[in-house]
Structure 1
Amino acid sequence: MRIVCIGGGPAGLYFGLLMKKQNPEHEVTVVERNRPYDTFGWGVVFSDQTLGNLQGADAPSANAILDAFNHWDDIEIHFGGRTQRSSGHGFCGIGRKRLLNILQARAEELGVKLVFETQVTDDTAYDADLIVACDGANSVVRKKYAATYKPDIDMRDCRFVWLGTDKLFDAFTFAFEKTEWGWFQAHAYRFDDHTSTFIVETPERVWRAAGLDEMSKEDGIAFCERLFARYLDGHALKSNAEHLRGSAQWIRFPRVVNENWVHYRPRADGRTTPVVLMGDAAHTAHFSIGSGTKLALEDAIELANSIAAHPRDLEGALSHYTNVRSVDVLRIQNAARNSTEWFENVQRYASFEPEQFAYSLLTRSQRISHENLRERDAAYLAEFENWIAQRSGLDATDQSKGPVPPMFTPFTLRSVTLKNRIVVSPMAQYSAVDGIAGDYHLMHLGARAMGGAALVMTEMTCVSPEARITPGCPGLYNEAQRDAWRRIVDFVHRESDAKLGIQLGHAGGKASTRVAWEGIDQPLHEGNWPTVSASPQQYLRGVSHWSREASVEDLREIEAQFVRSTELAAEAGFDWLELHCAHGYLLSGFLSPLTNHRSDEYGGSLANRLRYPLEVFSAMRAVWPADKPMSVRISAHDWVDGGMTPDDAVEIARAFKTAGADLIDVSSGQVSKDEKPVYGRMFQTPFSDRVRNEAGIATIAVGAISEADHVNSIIAAGRADLCAIARPHLANPAWTLNEAARIGYFDIEWPKQYRAAKAQLERNYDRDRAQRAKDAP
């Protein structure tokens, strides 16, 4: 094949040499706009895993790169006048210029034609069987064929400058400095025997407030030297971007995503020439996780492998390449997005003590979890776990039983102390008769209370017959229902040390539907009742019945119903009360602009949309025992343009906090069928993180939390105070006890009736851990 790589960075050079190695008959040309020894930026970072991939693809270049690497295991974090250090991270740094020179030499050795000082503005100037566009984040080729590639470019909030210094850092170093304008952070690492990279970063608003947008290049560097003088030990900072002047050296990171990676360019002979994106032209990942060069090189490896696997089908090879790489890249980009947002919002975590701040930074991308940190640096994690335990009121001086995992530390609100951080999430069971919780609910809730969770929540319990989602939903609007609930509360209190909470709600326009297994959200076959909502709505277009707008008289009546149900909940003996303001039900319908189109004092601005939910909450708080907690469940994101956003969620949480809420249960979605959620592990936890650390109120994290490792990471990082587990608790009522045994934490109480099983389960997991350790390479 005749192959032309437009762009002589790591992606183009590496793909070129791999293709020439694969078949010396290929004619491979790499065209680069700069001179051979030009480079911008300083050092780049690889993980040990990336080095292994390079070794497998081309050992000579990998060995040359390895010989030039500076390797380190430690990460050092300077914050609040103190230093936290964690080991076992396995990173390597190499000068960008040195890396390019190694790849250039290897490419020339194999017969790749390198063309320098040539700016490609027209790819059609090259007659080739394959054009590879690896011309960077500002790709000219991508812009030309944007209608095919469909790029999405998100310019991130922080400004950063890529500098160097002769100060040699012996760990990957993060340094944080607070100024009168806001926070600045430095990312520093050594990449050769003489030089370290030193990246300074700060949010755009801070950068402008500090006047850096108007400073000369030299003054900007001097500003950074003064700000980070304590870490530089008298060494200067310097730039190698001679082509940039003034504040232009400070740039914003573009997150690049492309819907398609291949454009087929028509040719005069009726055939097409594929033009495929690679490296930063196809995707970018923020430098804070050090994956940009990694992704570029792994693109090159996969494209070469795909072509080798499809020797007579280039189109099939390119399809395979994009299918494989888009999945891998999305995973890295999701982690990079998490990391980017963390650094954009350092102020959010500024109230953390240095220990928790460092842990939050280390786990920011969700690629490193609690147990992964234990594998990397067990001593560091044990010390941190003891710190968390002490902060929760435990005596961590007795080390005979080992550290207490964060998920098993206690948590107190008002007079209620939860023994651990696990909540059985409210889950609709549709098994009540006339709104009465019966034997099924006794079994369902009782089993989970005995399964180790600290707080077991009822499903949404409705404040009137018309407030029910389905005829099978429980209620709390008469004394018979109160007595049925009291029976369950008494059982839980008698047979376990769990607390029992009740979630009260009104289904609003989503009421009067079938039970889930007969058609979720579908209208009843018969016996439908009239429904009310903030504004007239039809949840399922053309299917659901229309609800009417609640009048002011309706609102006063419904508020009274909530108050009566709250009084009955107190009489039944519940430990905890939650108000349901999420998932498109009545009160959620007031909060979301998608479902609230009122023109009175309850519609319009967020403050107005909050008015009625706050009135209901305040009325409930007034009659709920003062020594017992109240929480509010909200949908922090509607996942629909024009709907609720995480910014709104923070303001809503602040308002409920002022009204007396103790905790916000942070969920999302289910307000509109137009929603497009972005699912993944712990996908809703970032909303809890924002609410907790910006509104300053305790939170519950929910959504795709399924392992002890998830819970420990969330609690330890300060992203939530409790974790609600739903589906895993449906599958296993004793999920909490099982997870304790699985992670090797044995200092946990089991119900006396079940204690005979405890030792056996723990032995089984011990054997599993020993076998895994034996099988590990």
Structure 2
Amino acid sequence: MSRLFSSATMGLVSLKNRIIIPPMCQYSANDGLPTAWHNSHYMNLALSGAALVIIEASAIAPEGRITYKDLGLWNDEQAVAMKQMITDIRQYSDARLGVQIAHAGRKASCDLPWLGGKSLSTADVNGWQTVAPSPLAFGHNHPPKELSVDEINEIKQQFIDAAKRAEQAGIDVIEIHAAHGYLLHEFLSPISNQRQDEYGGSFENRSRLLINVFHEVREAINPNIAVGVRISATDWLENGWDVPESIELCEQLEELGCDYIHVSSGGISPEQQIPLGPNYQVPIAQAIHEHSMIPVIAVGLITQPLQAEAIIATHQADFVAIGRGILFEPRWPWRAAAELNEKIDVAPQYLRSAPHQFKNLFQ
């Protein structure tokens, strides 16, 4: 029996296999509201055979968006629209649905990637003032404003409020974004956090905001909803956030009831040196997996079914996230099932689509 297609749980959420579709920004919202693009995109992904689809980073505040076209959960209208999208998907798919709640910090206020993705200033029509733990710019981006303690407390409440809206929308899983150089990661990393107060300096101080956000979100949300955290486990920079600190962070999150850790890396600085290649982040996920009982999602150039199967079978991680690869091949789980000699559930409308040699693939 394939381990990739074995069932598993995240907290109280049951998953039919170990294939996860991670959050991938589409930059196609209007005032934070999902559009017809999102309705089609997430319906397609939910019919892929993956056990869990995590909706892209949804900003907790307008100034927390990466671009002016990001999804949001900072108001009730957005929650209602997301609920309608989820209701429509669930008419046809039994995939679990999650959402990532996020604040982009000093990497906010950018143009759309296909328009160059440049940093936009307050003088630009679609730009705004960014915020961060310290007034240090990301590369050549416009400099952020340093957050006051009162503003930090306000952001913490915005995470809690966004999580409550995700619950109202009917989400199964909530992922707190603390990776890729965005705000919560900016607090964790000494590269971007040079504060001298209770939110800077020591590991305890730098991790304080994420720990508090997780604890209060977990307390505010129904226990039937899984709450996890995505981290960048290393900055790939000398004197940056590193794997030992990530292990210590995950041990603390485990004590607070974290349901999973989604392990990525990098994003804090353009100076990072990442050794890209197949499975390049899997050893980091494995290091965390070996030091805690929290279910771990591995990600990073995992593209082949046998590759994914080996990660699960050798206990390097509990789940694999197939991101860009599944945008290129939206039925990747079907191919994985065929290669691993497994059956897979599909929508009845597609039952006749399997080639003759795979006629026993669908159930």
Structure 2 residue matching 1:755: 3-state secondary structure? helix
Distance 1:450 1:679 in 2: 30
For the pair 1:488 / 2:88, whether they are aligned, the reply is: no
Structure 1 Cα separation of the partners of residues 360 and 272 of structure 2? 43
| TM-score for the superposition, normalised by structure 1 | 0.45
Partner of 1:418: 15
Q: Choose the corresponding residue for 1:552, options 128, 138, 149.
A: 149
**Structure 2 letter corresponding to 1:628:** I
Contact 2:12 2:223 in 1 (8 A): no
User: What are the residue-to-residue correspondences of 1:658-697 with 2, within 5 Å?
Assistant: 658-697=255-294
1:493-512 matches, within 5 Å, as: 493-512=90-109
Deviations 1:132-182 (A, max 9, x none): xxxxxxxxxxxxxxxxxxxxxxxxxxxxxxxxxxxxxxxxxxxxxxxxxxx
What secondary structure, in the 3-state scheme, does the structure 1 residue paired with 2:231 have?
A: strand
Q: Separation in 2 of the partners of 1:459 and 1:410?
A: 24
Pairwise CA RMSD: 1.5
Take 1:755 and 1:438, find their aligned partners in 2: how far apart are those partners? Answer: 29
Rg (Cα) greater in structure? 1
CA contact (8 A) 2:264 2:299 kept: yes
Structure 2 match to 1:466: 63
Unpaired runs of 5+ in structure 2? none
* Deviation for aligned residue 1:668: 0.1
User: SS at the partner of 2:290?
Assistant: helix
What CA distance in whole angstroms lies between the structure 2 residues aligned with 1:712 and 1:742? 10
Q: What does residue range 5-154 of structure 1 map to in structure 2 within 5 Å?
A: none
Q: 1:764 to 1:421 in 2, by over 3 A?
A: closer
1:590 pairs with 174, 184, 187, which one?
A: 187
- Give the alignment of 1:427-466 within 5 angstroms: 427-466=24-63
Unaligned runs of 5+ in 1: 1-403, 766-777
- Give SS of 2:291's match: helix
Separation of aligned partners in 1, 2:321 and 2:297? 6
Name the one with the larger helix percent. 1
Distance 1:653 1:519 in 2: 36
SS in 2 for 1:630: strand
Q: 1:538 aligns with which of 120, 137, 149?
A: 137
> How far apart, in 2, do the equivalents of 1:504 and 1:600 lie?
26
Cα distance in 2, alignment partners of residues 520 and 675 from structure 1: 19
Corresponding residue number in structure 2 for 1:762: 358
Shift of 1:607: 1.1
8 Å Cα contact 2:130-2:145 kept in structure 1:
yes
Contact kept in structure 2, 1:602 and 1:609, CA below 8 Å:
yes
Q: How has the CA–CA distance of structure 1 residues 521 and 714 changed in structure 2, closer, same or farther, with 3 Å as cutoff?
A: farther
Q: Does the 8 Å contact 2:135/2:146 carry over to 1?
A: yes
Once the 2 structures are TM-superposed, how far is the Cα of residue 425 of structure 1 from its aligned partner?
1.2
1: distance between equivalents of 2:69 and 2:174?
21
Post-superposition CA distance 1:562-595 (Å, at most 9, x none): 1111111001000000000001101000001100
Whether contact under 8 Å (1:492, 1:500) holds in the other structure is no
| Map 1:163-178 → 2, pairs under 5 A | none
- Name the CA distance, whole Å, in 1 between partners of 2:116 and 2:69: 13
Q: Match for residue 62 of structure 1?
A: none
Kindly indicate whether residue 236 of structure 2 is the aligned counterpart of residue 619 of structure 1: no
1:479 aligns with 2:76: yes
Tell me which amino acid in the other structure corresponds to 1:491: D
Q: Percent of aligned pairs with the same residue? A: 38
Q: How far apart are the structure 2 equivalents of 1:707 and 1:735?
A: 9
- Which letter maps to 2:16? K
Count of aligned pairs between the two proteins: 359
1:741–1:761 Cα contact (<8 Å) kept:
no
CA contact (8 A) 2:106 2:183 kept: yes
Partner of 1:741: 338
Of 121, 127, 131, the match for 1:528: 127
Partner Cα separation in structure 2 for residue 649 and residue 632 of structure 1: 12
Aligned positions of 1:244-263 closer than 5 A: none
CA distance in 2, matches of 1:433, 1:527: 12
Q: Secondary structure at the match of 2:177?
A: strand
Kindly indicate whether structure 1 or structure 2 has the higher relative contact order, using CA contacts under 8 Å at least 6 residues apart. Answer: 2
Q: What whole-Å deviation, never above 9, does each CA across 1:400-442 have from its counterpart, x for those lacking one?
A: xxxx211100011232110000011110110001000121111
| CA-CA distance at 1:461 after TM superposition | 0.6
Note the C-alpha offset of 1:521: 4.6
The equivalent position to 1:752 in structure 2, one of 325, 348, 363, is 348
| Residue 763 of structure 1, CA deviation | 6.0
Deviation at 1:711, TM superposition (A): 1.1
